Structure 1
Amino acid sequence: MLKQFSQGLARVEIVVAALLAALITGLILLNILTRALGTPLYWVNELAIHAMVWMTFLTTSVVLKRREGVAVTLLLDALPACPQAIVRALVDAVILGFAGLLLWLCWRWYDPVALWEAGFDIGAFQGETFNFIYSERTSTLGLPKFWSWLCLPLFSASLGVHGLVNLIDSLKGLAARQRRLA
């Protein structure tokens, strides 16, 4: 069931990333057109940058799920099959650990418990925690930056799901290999 959830999540991530890529293309073309006409829209650049950041994190999660990240595999390819499987499982464990660490850091950064305890009063939250995440605004759009930064906790949660599925698959493969050898 977790594997199907991971696959469905990856499909959603790819669709959203593709839509964001189309949006970025449209925004850049709009920016070119408005600048050529002498009336540039300054917010277009900022929106394109935020869309590109979200697109990057969404696609990175899928790339790591598919184990298609850029890698130098010269040493790995030289190893026999069993050590290769162990190294792959270790890489999956490191990715899962990174996702967990990033999710924990995002939890501390957003600090939803303290925000809830402050009654969702941003001023009280800032006064108690000295955390100004919810009050920072983007330069031209004027939107709260925490909406754009939400890509980090979403990425880490998604990567955690994908990393866990990959690690389970790696460990199952190792166990099956050990049974065949025994």
Structure 2
Amino acid sequence: MLNTLSRGLARVELFTAALLAAAITGLILLNIVTRALGNALYWTDELAIHAMVWMAFLTTSVVLKRREGIAVTLLVDALPAGARTVVALFVDAMVLFFAVLLFVLCWRWYEPAMLWATGFDIDAFQMETFNFIYSERTNTLGIPKFWSWLCLPIFSVSLGLHGLVNLTDSLKGLWPGQRRLA
């Protein structure tokens, strides 16, 4: 079930990343045209940057799910099969550890329980926590920055799911005949 959920989530992430890539291209072309006409739309740069950040995190999650990250495998390739399995297991465990750590840090950053406790009153939340995440705004778009930063907790949950599936598959790979494809 987790494997199916992970595969489905990866498809959604790739589709969303493709839409963002198209949007980035359109925004940059729009910016070029409006600057050439002498009436630049400055918000297009900022929106393209935010879209690019979201696209990068979505695709990174899929790349790590597929175990296709850039790596120097010279040492690992020289190891015997058993040691390569242990290294793969260690890498999968580190990816999962990073996802959990990032989620915990995002939870502490966003503080949703305290936001709930203050009745979603941003001023009361800020006075209670001295955390101004919900009041900071982007320079040209004027939208709250936390919407853009939501890519981090979403990435951590997605990466956690993919990392858990990969770790489970690696553990099953320790016993012959039980390896599942991710």
SS at match of 2:140: coil
In structure 2, how many angstroms separate the alpha carbons of the residues matched to 1:85 and 1:17?
31
Q: TM (normalized to structure 1)? A: 0.96
One-letter identity of the residue aligned with 2:65: K
Give 1:32's aligned residue: 32
Higher relative helix content: 1
Q: Secondary structure at the match of 1:136?
A: coil
- Name the CA distance, whole Å, in 2 between partners of 1:174 and 1:42: 55
Deviation by residue 1:35-54 (Cα, 9 ceiling, x = unmatched): 00000000000000000000
Displacement after TM superposition at 1:174 (Å): 1.1
Shift of 1:83: 0.7
- Over residues 12-48 of structure 1, what are the superposed CA-to-partner deviations in whole Å (9 max), with x where a residue is unaligned? 0000000000000000000000000000000000000
- Any idea what the Cα deviations from partners look like across 1:116-138, whole Å, max 9, x if unmatched? 11111000000000000000000
TM-score normalized by the length of structure 2 = 0.96
Equivalent residue for 1:139? Answer: 139
Give per-residue Cα distances to partners, 1:76-107, cap 9 Å, x unaligned. Answer: 00001111011001000000000000000000
Correspondence for 1:180: none
Q: 1:122 corresponds to which residue?
A: 122
1:151 corresponds to which residue? 151
- 1:161 aligned to 2:151? no
Tell me which residue corresponds to 2:48.
48
Unaligned runs of 5+ in 1: 178-182
Which amino acid in 2 is paired with 1:169? D
Please provide the CA RMSD for this pair.
Answer: 1.0
Kindly state the Cα deviation for residue 143 of structure 1 after the two structures are TM-superposed.
0.2
Stretches of structure 2 lacking an aligned partner (at least 5 in a row): 178-182
CA distance in 1, matches of 2:104, 2:174: 29
Alignment of 1:1-182 (within 5 A): 1-176=1-176
Matched residue pairs, number?
A: 178
| CA deviations over 1:39-73 (Å, ceiling 9, x no partner) | 00000000000000000000000000000000000
